[in-house]
Amino acid sequence: MNYTHTQIAFLKKHETVERKELTELFNAEFGTQQSFEAIKQKCKVLGLKTGRDGCFKKGHTPPNKGTKGLAGANKTSFKKGDAPHNTKAVGTITKIKDSNGYWYTNIKVAEPNKWQMLHTYIWEQEHGKIPKGYCVIFKDRDTENMSLDNLMLVSRSELARLNQKYAAIDPSLREVALQVVKIQSAVIKKGGGHR
């Protein structure tokens, strides 16, 4: 329907009237059969506002004033001590992908929701807690190979040097490169070498 200037002026004059009531007024005034949706859409196109902003006006008392919560417990509410249906048990093993696309295996080691990388867990079971500033890496870079022979403890600075100088080295020579880096680090600590 094409609205006349008079009809548009009427809508603008009554813009704060609720749209359902405005539809009835409009149809009565102009003898039309416009639907609620049509009037609502025309008001939207014209940029007319209802005057409602979703906020309580000053002095208004909300209907839930003085209540502790909006809803009480129901049959789907958690009861004390209950756990969600997707809770994993301690010992559960999952895989995650890091930002570089490598897959790592995690193990749940404690409640609530405490996880650890499986290769570090395996290493700690054999050797004890990993010292601060150190990490456990895969000698052959295969994150699926979690045998103790393939895991090695290195300092973060050694790992940085290994990644800088020997990132593209053949996996069979990686352990040799790690030993070279350890020797270089020891020389630097003694003050006999350059970084």
Position 71 scores a pLDDT of 65
Query: Which regions of the chain does DSSP assign to beta strands (E)?
Result: 93-97, 103-110, 114-117, 134-138, 151-155
Non-local CB neighbours of 135 within 8 Å, separated by 6+ positions? 120, 153, 154, 156, 159
Distance in angstroms (rounded) separating the CA atoms of residues 135 and 153: 6
Mean pLDDT, contiguous 10-residue spans, the chain (195 residues)? 89 88 91 91 88 79 74 68 81 87 87 89 93 89 86 87 81 82 82 59
d(CA 47, CA 167) in angstroms, rounded, equals 61
Q: In this predicted structure, what is the pLDDT of residue 72?
A: 65
pLDDT of residue 140: 80
- CA dist., res. 103 & res. 143, Å (int): 7
Q: Please provide residue 87's backbone torsions phi and psi, each rounded to the nearest 5 degrees.
A: -70, 135
pLDDT for 163: 83
pTM, full prediction: 0.52
List of E strands, 23-113: 93-97, 103-110
The per-residue pLDDT for 48 is 87
Query: Residue 125's pLDDT is what?
Result: 92
Q: Backbone dihedral region of 126: left (phi > 0), alpha (psi from -120 to 50 degrees) or beta?
A: alpha
> What is the structure's pLDDT at 121?
93
